[in-house]
A = this chain, B = another copy of it.
Amino acid sequence: MRRFVIGRGRNFLNRSHQQNLLSSSSSHCQSRFLSSTSVIDSPSSSSMAPTSSPAITVDSLNPKVLKCEYAVRGEIVSIAQELQTNPGSHSFDEILYCNIGNPQSLGQQPITFFREVLALCDHPSILDRSETQGLFSADSIERAWQILDQIPGRATGAYSHSQGIKGLRDTIAAGIEARDGFPADPNDIFLTDGASPAVHMMMQLLIRSENDGILCPIPQYPLYSASIALHGGTLVPYYLDEATGWGLETSEVKKQLEAAKAKGITVRALVVINPGNPTGQVLAEENQRAIVDFCKKEGLVLLADEVYQENVYVPEKKFHSFKKVSRSMGYGEKDISLVSFQSVSKGYHGECGKRGGYMEVTGFSPEVREQIYKVASVNLCSNISGQILASLVMSPPKVGDESYESYCAERDGILSSLARRAKTLEDAFNSLEGITCNKAEGAMYLFPRIQLPEKAIKAAEAEKTVPDAFYCRRLLNATGIVLVPGSGFGQVPGTWHFRCTILPQEDKIPAIVTRLTDFHKSFMDKFRN
């Protein structure tokens, strides 16, 4: 199995690299051709340009953009949106979106304390009014004052420092210290509009050409493949081992690194998503130690996607940040370059629409830090509500605060419900013919494997569709359930999967299980070998 995976990995890299070289050289040729044409026709070229239609065509767009794909909002979701706007076109009563980690779109309620503080910071002139005492908790009013006092001029409508408001970064650093038991420096924090822009920023800094590679897990969250494509680098895949619960083995990473080097790729960074997306596993601490040592030894930047750090559902696993793990190994600033990404979109709060997040950047020289700061400056700053929310997430109400009990009840209610939903869906998938599903130890997703019958694969090929997309499309049209085909995340070639979120509210889960079970039976009856 290992050998097979590695062999496939090489092909993936190979193909990806060739595509890069091709698109890059064709882009060069194309622009040279266009400009020399202009010169030859000049000075009358302008009058020869088409005047009846705009000049930009898909063929003349940046080929890196054309190459980029993002399955989470891909074809299946477009079909779902069409179905939703044509209720007469289908028999089911509603579309059940299980495609995207967007909890509040499915009815999850925001944490009251967080929203109180945000509202007060948005309209501080009510803070002194007596009616406000009756509407808002005492600690939300106090927290809003604290935050306003941290903002120069109390101006929540001003651009902040390019890294984010200093006082909020102090709060976040204190939250990281409390979480890890190791010091955190507010100057290491870069607040961003969600985690995605932070990931783009690091890719932009690290990728110089298609000869630069980024090691990414397969399956991966397609932000990574999209961002690497947009920045013109090469994705170097390492495969997670489905047989051991999506295990991450450094021997596999090492082999892929060597294979990439042999192809002339300079590998610059290793992406680890923990808890895993789309795979839902939570790494064991000793596994993390091995990864840290590997990055240190190979001189790789460790890009740690830790946005699901609050989403752990099994008692035997615990989230450990890579920063904590590396510091507990005695490694400091000089030893390893480490970036940890955090977001307000995930966790128990799920505030996706607020676009808040940060990256904690450690182990880079002051000169490199200056470049990161410059890139952050070009976009001025991230949105202040998102910044405030990021500070709240890292510093929620404490024992004794008026909101503490209601906060805990809201948080625990959401997390325990997510754990129940994960288990119910996992069991449901495992009860279906030809489907096996690893445990969702964390994050918000299941990534079951489906053994598609040969007849189904042939039928998909006849429709020029990838087999897992063929399954997902039929499922959607029959039941309204929206999944994302595994091919959007990457998978061992010849295997098929799909990603299913655990986010529909609990009262919807039985319907999902029933519809899925019924559909799957009839699908298998139709296509069984």
Contacts and interface: CB of A to CB of B under 8 A. Distances in A.
Chain B CB within 10 A, most for which of A45, A122, A197, A367? A122
Given A43-B258, A378-B68, A381-B353, A104 B155 contact: yes
Contacts of A383: 193, 353-355, 383, 385-386
B261 A355 contact: no
Nearest to A232: B232
A371 B367 CA distance: 36
A382 interface: yes
A492 B327 CA distance: 53
Contacts of A261: 35, 38-39, 42, 45
Contacts of A30: 208
A350 B385 CA distance: 16
A230 B208 contact: no
Interface stretch (A57-65, A393-401, A509-517): A57-65
A95 to B, nearest CB: 11
Contacts of A352: 157-159, 380
Contacts of A14: none
A502 to B, nearest CB: 16
Contact of A382 (B27, B105, B355): B355
A58 B208 CA distance: 12
A266 interface: yes
Interface in A60-79: 60-66, 68-70, 72-73
A221 to B, nearest CB: 11
B266 A35 contact: yes
Contacts of A337: 54-56
A197 to B, nearest CB: 7
A132 interface: yes
Interface residues of A, number: 129
A453 interface: no
Contacts of A363: 54
Nearest to A81: B161
Contacts of A89: none
B206 A56 contact: yes
Contact of A265 (B35, B157, B335): B35
A318 B51 CA distance: 29
A298 B70 contact: no
Interface in A310-346: 334-337, 345
B126 A118 contact: no
A460 interface: no
A378 B226 CA distance: 7
A264 interface: yes
Interface string A127-139: 0010110110000
Contact of A299 (B50, B62, B110, B157): B50
Interface string A94-129: 000000101111110010100110111011011001
Nearest to A375: B65
Contacts of A86: none
A155 B103 CA distance: 10
A22 interface: no
Interface in A194-215: 194, 196-197, 200, 204-209, 211-212
Given A70-B374, A73-B377, A352-B159, A300 B55 contact: yes
Contact of A135 (B70, B132, B159, B335): B132
19 contacts: A31-B209, A34-B266, A45-B261, A52-B334, A53-B335, A56-B206, A61-B206, A62-B208, A63-B208, A65-B371, A104-B158, A119-B120, A122-B385, A131-B135, A132-B135, A135-B135, A157-B353, A159-B352, A194-B380
A-B pairs, 10 with minimum CB distance = A55-B299, A105-B158, A119-B123, A355-B383, A31-B211, A353-B384, A54-B337, A104-B157, A131-B131, A119-B119
Interface of A: 27-28, 30-32, 34-36, 38-39, 42-43, 45-47, 49-58, 60-66, 68-70, 72-73, 100, 102-107, 110, 112, 115-116, 118-120, 122-123, 125-126, 129, 131-132, 134-135, 152-153, 155-160, 162, 193-194, 196-197, 200, 204-209, 211-212, 223, 226-227, 230-231, 258, 261-262, 264-266, 268, 296-301, 334-337, 345, 350-355, 363-365, 367-368, 371, 374-375, 377-386
Given A42-B258, A104-B155, 12 more contacts: A30-B208, A66-B371, A115-B125, A119-B120, A129-B134, A157-B350, A157-B354, A160-B353, A193-B382, A193-B383, A197-B379, A355-B355
